[in-house]
Chain A
Amino acid sequence: MRFEILSEQEVKQVHEASLEILKRVGIHTASQKFKEILLDNGCKEQGERIVFTDDVIYKGLKTVPATFELYGRNNSYVLEIGKKKAYCQTCVGTPSMIDLDTGEKRDTLTKDLEEYTRLADALEYINIISPVFPRDVPQEIILTVETATLLRNTSKPLSICIESEREMPYIIELLTAVAGSAEALKQKPIATIPISPLSPLEYGYDPAEALIAAVEAGLPLGVEPCPMMGSTGPMTLLGTAVQHNAEILAGVIASQLIKPGSAVTHSSRATFMDMRSGLGLWAMPELGYAGAIMNQLAQYANIPCAPGGYCGASKTTDMQSGYEHLYNALLEGLVGSDIIGSAGSLDNALISCYAMLVIDNELSSVVQRTIKDFEVTEDKLAVNIIAEVIEKKSNFLEHKHTRKHFRAGELWLPPLGDRQTYEKWAVSKEKIEDKARRTAKELIAAHQVIPLSEEINREFDRIIAYARKIEMK
């Protein structure tokens, strides 16, 4: 897709401003290990901070892979990250759900994690699955339980955001059990591991150590800080982009210093403080606009990009959530996005909603359709067909060319939206949010996930029991 917000010259200006930030104020970290990696490779200490040099920046950015593959377990899916296909990823870590029966907000439970993951597995245009945040699981082993539950309820690729390295060994064990061996997991990774440093430019102990653990495990890393324009970032979109890009580049560079050539994504999550309530907004237009600018910056540095996008401030599946999610995701998709996250979310990514996930599947379908490259071929230009139909005084409907291209998907068929005659629609007068709710219920009841073997299931039980013993003593 050829679509841009900043001109090439402007992108370069913003990129260079980010580099100036890295060289002038750099980052702070509480992790000695992280600090040493940076210093050993040429970064400098400046008071409490670590600043970058041109040499380190060059060294760190030149080995970033422009593409990598992400797999579903059992070779069920292969995603080509780096090819700007706008893969849709569910929202991570939501502590609340909209109950499918009552429509009310309540705590997320393990049952939700299971059913929501199964629903995402069933929805064709949802490509990567992140866990919602169940409140009925002991905090000490939360990521271990989440990873196992995801693997049991989907064969799609996963994204497991970690806030510390503590549970990393169990996560690796679970993923390895499914992949077959450690080597197989490295060859065909089935999960990305995002980490989230603090804004502005703070690699706290936990995210820094988590970054090292993810890279050392050989899994694709996501560098995902979350600055808020006007509070933890400056009150200009460009200024926030400058700082945000610097924060991400610092992590990307570090990943390459640890292991040159390791897969990593530029995962922007710029948010915006509501100046009345203090809430962090994930709303349109700013979120999509900033996400699109961040995508341009990632492309400039040749790093695959994965912003959040299927999100907004609306509290329910309604017209507002529909237009917010489409605006943000489409803008990012048009500029070029590898992954677009936050699907199924409401209330600034604090709530997950079954019905909204079904609607986001519809939006993802149209976003992915829109950005598909147009191929200009003789057959598609159809000059001969037009001439033939006119000369024969025939029509296009009965032409084989029509059947061929219709079958090839030339006319988008909405997975959810209504296109019936008014009269047919008027029989039930069903609104899209009600249809989404009904579809969610039907899919949860009927959808079958490719099962894990008995042996792997037993291995999972063992790993969780072991994690419980070690972490909860």
Chain B
Amino acid sequence: MSKKEEILTQLAEAVVEGDDESAITLTQKAIDDGVDPLTIINEGLTKGIKIVGEYFGNGRYFLPDLLLGAKAMDSGVRILEPLLVGTSRESSGTVVIGTVQGDLHEIGKNIVAMMLKTSGFEVIDLGVDVASSKFVEKVKEIKPDIIGISALLTTTIGRQKEIIEILIEEGLRDTVKVMIGGCPNK
């Protein structure tokens, strides 16, 4: 195994182990060794997260493993991003996601955002207590493929409908897929 292969394997392992500290150190080391940033992402970090996804799928891994793996990958990507300006990364699509106005619950939304990120989507997280108008504004501004609208309270799920209605009114509904989530929707 070449030195380059060795470090990329270690980096993938760090992601599989959900070890963000090692992921940072190894990403930096790979950069210093002159490995191409896109190669570090594709053959190190992404390779690792794919294994994490596989483990989750076959029942060996659980949600905390998934989140820690995604966090380790993210910490490596963050170092690499400035070096990637101008190059184009493959993306499965763009997602704008947030929790509706009057609702501060974010765990479910965060899990979905993480899963989408690790599946190659670009995710713009608007946070919690987001006004309906802001969702619509972001649809106009970013032109995402999908918007994800989260609500946990039985008193706030009406906002999901409201946002969809505004999208229809403004003629934007056909430009974007809408994904809703949260307990009361089950």
A209 to chain B, nearest CB (A): 13
Q: Digit string of B37-67 for contact with A (CB within 8 Å is 1, else 0)? A: 0000000000000000000000100111000
B62 to chain A, nearest CB (A): 4
Q: Given the complex of chains A and B, what is the CA–CA distance between A133 and B186 in angstroms?
A: 14
Check A228/B107 contact, CB under 8 A, given A93-B154, A139-B158: yes
Find out whether the CB atom of B64 lies under 8 angstroms from the CB atom of A275.
Answer: yes
Find out whether the CB atom of A198 lies under 8 angstroms from the CB atom of B104.
Answer: yes
| 6 additional contacts (CB under 8 A) given A230-B64, A276-B62 | A93-B154, A95-B154, A95-B184, A133-B154, A206-B102, A350-B183
Which A residues from 268 to 299 make CB contacts under 8 A with B? 273, 275-276, 278, 280
Q: Digit string of B87-128 for contact with A (CB within 8 Å is 1, else 0)? A: 000000000000000101101100100000000000000000
B185 to chain A, nearest CB (A): 9
Which residues of B are found within 8 Å of A163, using beta-carbon distances?
153, 155
B128 to chain A, nearest CB (A): 10
B181 to chain A, nearest CB (A): 10
Q: 9 smallest A-B Cβ distances: which pairs?
A: A275-B62, A231-B107, A95-B184, A275-B63, A139-B158, A163-B155, A133-B154, A204-B104, A93-B154
Contact with A142, one of B108, B155, B184 (Cβ below 8 angstroms): B155
Find out whether the CB atom of A278 lies under 8 angstroms from the CB atom of B63.
Answer: yes
Q: Digit string of A214-238 for contact with B (CB within 8 Å is 1, else 0)? A: 0000000000000010111001000
Q: Digit string of B153-186 for contact with A (CB within 8 Å is 1, else 0)? A: 1110010000000000000000000000001101
Which A residues from 131 to 170 make CB contacts under 8 A with B? 133, 139, 142, 163-164
Find out whether the CB atom of B105 lies under 8 angstroms from the CB atom of A198.
Answer: yes
A93: nearest residue on chain B (CB-CB)? Answer: B154
Judge if A202 is at the interface, Cβ distance under 8 Å. Answer: yes
A194 to chain B, nearest CB (A): 14
Q: How large is the interface on B (under 10, 10 to 19, 20 to 34, 35 or more residues)?
A: 10 to 19
Q: What are 13 A-to-B residue pairs whose CB atoms are below 8 Å?
A: A96-B186, A133-B154, A139-B155, A163-B153, A163-B155, A164-B155, A228-B107, A231-B107, A275-B63, A278-B63, A278-B107, A278-B111, A350-B184
A274: nearest residue on chain B (CB-CB)? Answer: B63
B56: nearest residue on chain A (CB-CB)? Answer: A276
Which residues of A are found within 8 Å of B155, using beta-carbon distances?
139, 142, 163-164
Which residues of A are found within 8 Å of B107, using beta-carbon distances?
228, 231-232, 278
Which residues of A are found within 8 Å of B111, using beta-carbon distances?
278
Interface residues of B (CB under 8 A from A): 59, 62-64, 102, 104-105, 107-108, 111, 153-155, 158, 183-184, 186
Find out whether the CB atom of A280 lies under 8 angstroms from the CB atom of B183.
Answer: yes
Q: Given the complex of chains A and B, what is the CA–CA distance between A347 and B104 in angstroms?
A: 23
Q: Given the complex of chains A and B, what is the CA–CA distance between A206 and B128 in angstroms?
A: 14
A162: nearest residue on chain B (CB-CB)? Answer: B155
A138: nearest residue on chain B (CB-CB)? Answer: B158
A279: nearest residue on chain B (CB-CB)? Answer: B183
Which residues of B are found within 8 Å of A347, using beta-carbon distances?
186
Q: Given the complex of chains A and B, what is the CA–CA distance between A204 and B186 in angstroms?
A: 25
Which residues of A are found within 8 Å of B108, using beta-carbon distances?
278
A134 to chain B, nearest CB (A): 10
Q: Given the complex of chains A and B, what is the CA–CA distance between A95 and B184 in angstroms?
A: 6
Find out whether the CB atom of B102 lies under 8 angstroms from the CB atom of A276.
Answer: no
Q: Given the complex of chains A and B, what is the CA–CA distance between A273 and B183 in angstroms?
A: 13
B120 to chain A, nearest CB (A): 21
Q: Given the complex of chains A and B, what is the CA–CA distance between A43 and B59 in angstroms?
A: 47
B166 to chain A, nearest CB (A): 17
Which residues of A are found within 8 Å of B104, using beta-carbon distances?
198, 202, 204
Which residues of B are found within 8 Å of A278, using beta-carbon distances?
63, 107-108, 111
Q: Given the complex of chains A and B, what is the CA–CA distance between A198 and B104 in angstroms?
A: 8
A21 to chain B, nearest CB (A): 20
Which A residues from 40 to 59 make CB contacts under 8 A with B? none
Which residues of B are found within 8 Å of A275, using beta-carbon distances?
62-64
Which residues of A are found within 8 Å of B158, using beta-carbon distances?
139
A105: nearest residue on chain B (CB-CB)? Answer: B186
Which residues of A are found within 8 Å of B59, using beta-carbon distances?
276
Which residues of B are found within 8 Å of A350, using beta-carbon distances?
183-184, 186
B108: nearest residue on chain A (CB-CB)? Answer: A278
Q: Given the complex of chains A and B, what is the CA–CA distance between A193 and B183 in angstroms?
A: 23
A348 to chain B, nearest CB (A): 9
Which residues of B are found within 8 Å of A95, using beta-carbon distances?
154, 184
B131 to chain A, nearest CB (A): 14
Q: Given the complex of chains A and B, what is the CA–CA distance between A232 and B62 in angstroms?
A: 17
Q: Given the complex of chains A and B, what is the CA–CA distance between A331 and B103 in angstroms?
A: 33
Q: Given the complex of chains A and B, what is the CA–CA distance between A348 and B186 in angstroms?
A: 12
B102: nearest residue on chain A (CB-CB)? Answer: A206
A301 to chain B, nearest CB (A): 27
Which residues of A are found within 8 Å of B184, using beta-carbon distances?
95, 350
A294 to chain B, nearest CB (A): 21
